Structure 1
Amino acid sequence: MKALVLAGGTGSRLRPFTDTGAKQLLPIANKPVLFYGLEAIAAAGIREAGIVVGRRGGEVRGAVGDGSAFGLRVHYLHQERPLGLAHAVLIARDFLGDDDFLLYLGDNYLQDGLTGFAERAAAHPGAARLLLTPVADPTAFGVAELDGSGDVVRLEEKPERPRSDLALIGVYAFGREVHEAVRAISPSVRGELEITDAVQWMLDRGLRVRAETTTRPWRDTGSVDDLLEVNRQVLDGIEGRVDGKVDPDSTVLGRVRLAEGAVVRGSRIVGPAVIGAGTVISNSSIGPYTAIAEDCRIEDSAIAHSVLLRGADVEGASRIESSLIGRGAVVAPAPRLPQAHRLVIGDHSKVQLTS
């Protein structure tokens, strides 16, 4: 079995961060979200992966390389612009051949990984297998309707009147039948080749589509709130390790991972939290569920439940919470403007000034 990983999306909901970097490389607990997926693919026993990249493909190549760091052989497939998941399968035809493959969205995070799903797909090969989860608002997702045996009978993309609450969460297993399906379908009203249409094409021709349902944590990290929530979930599972320098006037409580080269002076760090190499924290309070990347400077500030990207500089911030601060961004006190009063006072008036 091979893997096809989609990493070409533009990440419009994460602007302005994605105006200057690939959304799949935004960090979760100081590690790009794409890396979690690649590690899960390797842990599932898959050894060959194709990564579909777009205009920021150079950044993805630079971060992932040949895949050997993950135990994978990685091939890069260029997509001119995001034209749908089925289009990604279409352009990957030569790489995939007739092999069964796992299709995975590169900005997804699944806490339980992919091993069980991949093993069951390999043990019981078929036209398609989908991973589903119940959601509160199915109108925002591709939605599956199942029969009594748990097989898929119908798929709809973002339906106005959903037939179920079971949403597709970006993990699929396909056999070679999908290649005919993606060639047969037409673009949707969005101008994309929808994978839901390809699967429905197979259903309409009597092919069996299996489904699995999970209630374990899953997130599409396509928004700031989702990214912060995944950061919280990952930090909940870290182990503390202090390799950096902590002076005697500082306190480190709970599970804190302080990288070698990081420095903490006169500060209080409460885990779970991760702090990258080269970061200096002075006279500050870092609360739980905070990930601070490499080469940041935090001074006279309090930060909690936040993610700071490489090179961020925060000074004099009395309280920052639930925030995402970009690469090289600067947060500093506003300059104090000289205070003055301009008065036009009539005869015999009395004015009292507070300062």
Structure 2
Amino acid sequence: MLAGGSGTRLRPITHTSAKQLVPVANKPVLFYGLEAIAETGIQEVGLVVGDTHEEIEAAVGDGSAFGLQVTYLRQQAPLGLAHGVLIARDFLGDEDFVMYLGDNFIVGGINDLVDRFAARRPAAQILLTKVGDPTQFGVAELDTAGRVIGLEEKPARPKSDLALVGVYLFSPAVHKAVAELKPSWRGELEITDAIQWLIEAGMNVESSEISGYWKDTGNVTDMLEVNRLVLESLEPRIDGLVDEASELVGRVVVEPGAVVERSRVVGPVIIGAGTRIQDSYVGPFTSVGAGCVVTGSELDYSIVLPESSIKGVGRIESSLIGHHVEVTASVNTPKAHRLVLGDHSKVQIGT
């Protein structure tokens, strides 16, 4: 599993936090991937980490919470997905393996994909989905029979609209391909080039089109969309305190130690442990992390990371707010705001 990217599209959040640990419905994206892997029956995971390794190791631990045995593999720089395979060579040995990108979100898991690979055992199996802008992804070209005949990483002129989803299954044959690679124009060892090498060597590369939901949570828009999707299946639960002057509508989770006072919360919404909501409105598809304070404000379709405070603000919507952020009232500014705030930010907003 790869969790070594720098997350430039989620700046400024990722200046101080690992992008794979940005939460969806108050749970890190990386955890959903680890759970999907564990559901297949796989027990050993090599987790490729980079500069944020300490944060990721603290969050994941030895993997036992997921039913996994996790070995950490340090990548000194984000030099490409195939480079992740290269540094994992000793860990992988001569076993078949799944490569899963830690910032990808797939609804429905990967059990069917793993079962198909085990039954047919091609040199590689890739998962594809149609996208609106294939120039942002690795793109597959298929022949009339649906066989993979070519791959290209972020092409200027895509030959199809079929993008590679961040899950790949390989036989040990891929190690020879990776060993032959040279850095691309991006200075990286591209996994698309390794798969192309297998194709040109006459090996069988199979593909299937994803039937469920997939997102690369590399930007704020996609993070908010995935958060919305997960909250859609929320089961209401009140483990904290809600006073009689408050109104909860729909599917709302109030985690232990959280307090809601004189406020209206319209679900699906999750309020994290120890968070206090006072004299405020929290709208649908919002996740508020643990230890936050929201007073005299309106919050809608947003993600707020732990230990942040929002006080006296007219309205915040479609926003991603980092750890330990302070948002307070100012004057003569718009009533609605869209924010992407890194950890330890301090912002004044008009009432």
- TM-score range for the pair, normalised by the shorter chain length: over 0.9
Q: How many Å apart are 1:148 and its aligned residue?
A: 3.2
Q: Which of 236, 239, 242 lines up with 1:240 in the alignment?
A: 236
Q: Report the Cα offset of residue 216 of structure 1.
A: 2.3
Partner residue in 2 for 1:75: 71
Shift of 1:335: 6.1
| Contact 1:134/1:215 (<8 A) preserved | no
Q: 2:306 aligns with which of 310, 317, 340?
A: 310
Q: Which residue of 2 aligns with 1:225?
A: 221
Deviation for aligned residue 1:215: 4.2
Choose from 244, 257, 263 the match for 1:267: 263
Residue of 92, 96, 103 corresponding to 1:100:
96
SS at match of 1:332: strand
1:10 aligns to what SS in structure 2? coil
Aligned mates of 1:138, 1:107 — CA distance in 2: 18
Distance 2:211 2:41 in 1: 23
Instruction: Say if 2:193 is the partner of 1:206.
Output: no
Matching of residue 7 in structure 1 with residue 9 in structure 2? no
Q: 2:279 aligned with 1:283, yes or no?
A: yes
Show CA shifts across 1:250-280 (max 9, x none): 0111111110100000001110011111100
- Corresponding residue number in structure 2 for 1:353: none
SS in 2 for 1:274: strand
Please give the alpha-carbon distance, in whole angstroms, between the structure 2 residues aligned to 1:138 and 1:14: 20
1:33-72 equivalences in 2 (<5 Å): 33-72=29-68
Are 1:144 and 1:154, in contact at CA under 8 Å, matched by a contact in 2?
yes
Task: Report the counterpart of residue 128 of structure 2 in structure 1.
Answer: 132
Residue type of the partner of 2:127? Answer: L
| Equivalent position of 1:197 in the other structure | 193
| Superposition deviation, residue 185 in structure 1 | 1.2
Q: Name segments (4+ residues, structure 1) moved above 4 Å.
A: none
1:124 Cα deviation from its structure 2 partner:
1.5
Q: CA RMSD for the aligned pairs? A: 1.0
Which amino acid counterpart does residue 50 of structure 2 have in structure 1?
Answer: G
Distance (whole Å) between structure 2 residues aligned to residue 242 and residue 150 of structure 1: 50
Kindly name which structure, 1 or 2, has the bigger radius of gyration based on alpha carbons.
1
- Select the residue among 174, 181, 200 that pairs with 1:185: 181
Identity %: 57
Runs of 5+ in structure 1 lacking a partner?
337-355
Normalising by structure 1, we get a TM-score of 0.92
Match of 1:85 among 81, 84, 90: 81
| Pairing partner for 2:146 from 146, 150, 156 | 150
Kindly provide the amino acid, as one letter, of the partner of residue 324 in structure 2. G
Q: Distance in 2 between matches of 1:259 and 1:149?
A: 52
Residue ranges of structure 2 left out of the alignment (5+ in a row) = 333-351
Residue aligning to 2:118: 122
